[in-house]
């Protein structure tokens, strides 16, 4: 993880928020490359799950909602963690995690010397186990108290109880409260889904592991409404659709680069299930700190719609023409974090390779996710014709694929830099491309394309570039197939 964190900072993917003020450990800023990667993940997800499906529509609900939403959803009463506070240093810990933290101990058997002792172990000098604050080693801890993870704020000019509202802790509720609006506006039939990408906020007690758990993050969520009386594949529709969504989500992550052996499913046991869920399956990724949740796919039954109907007094039903009855749909919820997805894609793409005795760092991003698709590089930046051709190419190509120009180092170095940020293709303009008027030589109008993973190079006429990149980047044609039509260039 440390290697990824440092690469992210060095190359402008991710910075700590407010770093010049010492940083806020739980929030992150996405730099020039990070924002492109993040946008690509969201764009591809939206395209695959919204645009390319006949049974999905999109939504962008506001972050601030009526406070009753959170009463109805159960977040006000249940979205809590048990916390203990140190009476001395005032630090706060999750009661269920306190024995998993290394602890500070002033040992009486060694004249009060200070030791840091491994989590769960006793002091080897005096044999005692931790009873005081693990951080300062001095304070008594309070009894556990429930702490709500929602950020509270005030709407309007007066800070009074009546104006209290919350930053949404999940995007899902914005979908449920708009269920009827969308039904009326689109006349959808079950089954259909509503998708949303947006920010969510949780006052996590123990944020950490880089962007894995932060207090401000983004979710990509779908609420897929089904008729529980229908049968699909011989089973109740909600159960069959749940399995379909689990398979679709797993396939999506592997399609865009996660190795199949780094992803696995975790079935929630009865005592792990949220109060509203009939069944929940998490998709776990093998993060450096161990297998952890990448996303969750829950069968939330009709809980949310029924709750909002109860609290709002509005009917949130769908009319089943066939059975001539109003019913409350069941809902399957695939819920993924943009930031966790981004971290997993980064980790899986990272490789250190040895090339001709030198270390090469490469991010083998799927081309659709790669922040920059093409880098246009001059072999000699002193030659104005070469530089002008590069700029012209960059302008033309960037209309369709984000293209960058770089002339700040020698070509070998420029290639390495692009490898390190995962740019799939480099285009190099050289003397042969533009010719040498002083020697009376005309250029051949061809450039070199270098592919990131194989490092193979081919010589391609400038006039073919757009067709070649359309095949590689839009149609997904394999490099080997495209490259076979052109002569190899020397590496």
Q: Name the residues that contact ligand ATP, by CB under 6 A.
A: 170, 202, 204, 213-214, 217, 219, 293-296, 335-337, 339-340
Nearer to ligand ATP, 220 or 397 (CB): 220
DSSP element (H, E) containing 217: strand 216-226
Nearer to ligand ATP, 214 or 428 (CB): 214
Name the pairing type of β-strands 192-201 and 56-59. Answer: parallel
Burial of 261 (0-12, 13-18, 19+ CB in 10 A): exposed
Nearer to ligand ATP, 7 or 273 (CB): 273
**Are the CB atoms for 283 and 263 separated by under 8 Å?**
yes
Q: Cβ contacts of residue 162 below 8 Å, gap of 6+?
A: none
Q: Taking the complex as a whole, how short is the minimal distance between the CB of residue 79 and ligand ATP, in angstroms?
A: 9
Q: Taking the complex as a whole, how short is the minimal distance between the CB of residue 219 and ligand ATP, in angstroms?
A: 5
Q: Taking the complex as a whole, how short is the minimal distance between the CB of residue 228 and ligand ATP, in angstroms?
A: 22
Q: What number of helices (H) and strands (E) belong to the chain?
A: 14, 29
Q: Taking the complex as a whole, how short is the minimal distance between the CB of residue 119 and ligand ATP, in angstroms?
A: 20
Q: Taking the complex as a whole, how short is the minimal distance between the CB of residue 63 and ligand ATP, in angstroms?
A: 15
Nearer to ligand ATP, 294 or 465 (CB): 294
**Are the CB atoms for 348 and 257 separated by under 8 Å?**
yes
Q: Taking the complex as a whole, how short is the minimal distance between the CB of residue 25 and ligand ATP, in angstroms?
A: 12
Q: Taking the complex as a whole, how short is the minimal distance between the CB of residue 335 and ligand ATP, in angstroms?
A: 4
What are the Cα distances from residue 458, in Å, to 17, 151, 454, 461, 479?
42, 55, 12, 10, 10
Q: Which residues pair with 156 in a beta bridge?
A: none
Nearer to ligand ATP, 221 or 419 (CB): 221
DSSP, collapsed to helix, strand or coil, labels residue 307 as helix
**How many other C-beta atoms can be found within 10 angstroms of the C-beta atom of residue 257?**
20
Q: Taking the complex as a whole, how short is the minimal distance between the CB of residue 12 and ligand ATP, in angstroms?
A: 21
Q: Residue 303 and residue 294: Cα distance in Å, rounded?
A: 24
Bond preceding residue 191 cis, omega within 30 of 0: yes
Residue for token pair 């590496």:
491
Nearer to ligand ATP, 36 or 170 (CB): 170
Nearer to ligand ATP, 338 or 372 (CB): 338
Nearer to ligand ATP, 225 or 287 (CB): 287
Q: Taking the complex as a whole, how short is the minimal distance between the CB of residue 198 and ligand ATP, in angstroms?
A: 11
DSSP, collapsed to helix, strand or coil, labels residue 13 as coil
Nearer to ligand ATP, 135 or 170 (CB): 170
Ranked by CB distance to ligand ATP, the top (closest) residue is 337
What are the Cα distances from residue 469, in Å, to 142, 258, 343?
63, 24, 27
């Amino acid at each position: 993880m440390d290697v990824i964190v440092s690469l992210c900072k060095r190359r402008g993917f991710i910075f700590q928020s407010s770093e010049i003020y010492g940083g806020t450990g739980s929030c992150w800023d996405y730099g020039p490359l990070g924002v492109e990667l993040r946008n690509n993940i969201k764009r591809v997800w939206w395209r695959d799950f919204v645009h390319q499906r006949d049974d999905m529509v999109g939504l962008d609900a506001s972050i601030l909602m009526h406070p009753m939403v959170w009463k109805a959803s159960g977040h006000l009463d249940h979205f809590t963690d048990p916390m203990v506070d140190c009476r001395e240093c005032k630090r706060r810990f999750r009661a269920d995690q306190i024995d998993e933290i290394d602890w500070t101990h002033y040992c009486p058997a060694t004249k009060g010397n200070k030791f840091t002792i491994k989590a769960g172990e006793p002091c080897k000098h005096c044999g005692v186990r931790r009873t005081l604050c693990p951080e300062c080693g001095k304070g008594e801890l309070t009894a556990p108290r429930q702490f709500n993870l929602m950020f509270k704020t005030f709407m309007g000019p007066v800070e009074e109880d009546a104006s209290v509202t919350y930053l949404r802790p999940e995007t899902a509720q914005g979908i449920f409260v708009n269920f009827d609006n969308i039904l009326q506006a689109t006349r959808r039939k079950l089954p259909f889904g509503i998708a949303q990408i947006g920010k969510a906020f949780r006052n996590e007690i123990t944020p950490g592991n880089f962007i894995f758990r932060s207090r401000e993050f983004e979710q990509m969520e779908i609420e897929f409404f089904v008729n529980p009386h229908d049968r699909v594949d011989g089973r109740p529709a909600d159960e069959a659709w749940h399995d379909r969504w689990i398979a679709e989500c797993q396939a999506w992550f592997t399609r865009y680069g996660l190795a199949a052996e780094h992803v696995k499913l975790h079935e929630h046991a009865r005592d792990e299930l949220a109060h509203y869920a009939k069944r929940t399956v998490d998709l776990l990724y093998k993060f450096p700190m161990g297998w952890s949740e990448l996303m969750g796919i829950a069968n939330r039954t009709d809980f949310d719609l029924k709750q909002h109907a109860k609290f709002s007094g509005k009917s949130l039903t769908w009319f089943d023409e066939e059975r001539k009855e109003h019913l409350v749909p069941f809902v399957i919820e695939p819920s993924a974090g943009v930031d966790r997805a981004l971290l997993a894609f980064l980790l899986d793409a990272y490789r250190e390779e040895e090339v001709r005795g030198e270390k090469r760092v490469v991010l083998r991003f799927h081309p659709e996710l790669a922040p920059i698709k093409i880098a246009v590089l001059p072999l000699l930046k002193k030659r104005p014709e070469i530089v002008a051709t590069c700029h012209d190419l960059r302008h033309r190509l960037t209309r369709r694929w984000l293209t960058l120009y770089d002339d700040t180092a020698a070509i070998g170095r420029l290639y390495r830099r692009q490898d390190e940020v995962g740019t799939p293709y480099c285009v190099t303009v050289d003397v042969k491309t533009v010719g040498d008027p002083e020697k009376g030589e005309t250029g051949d109008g061809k450039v070199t394309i270098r592919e990131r993973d194989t490092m193979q190079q081919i010589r391609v006429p400038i006039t073919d570039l757009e067709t070649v990149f359309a095949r590689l980047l839009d149609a997904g044609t394999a490099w080997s197939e495209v490259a076979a039509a052109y002569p190899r260039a020397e590496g």
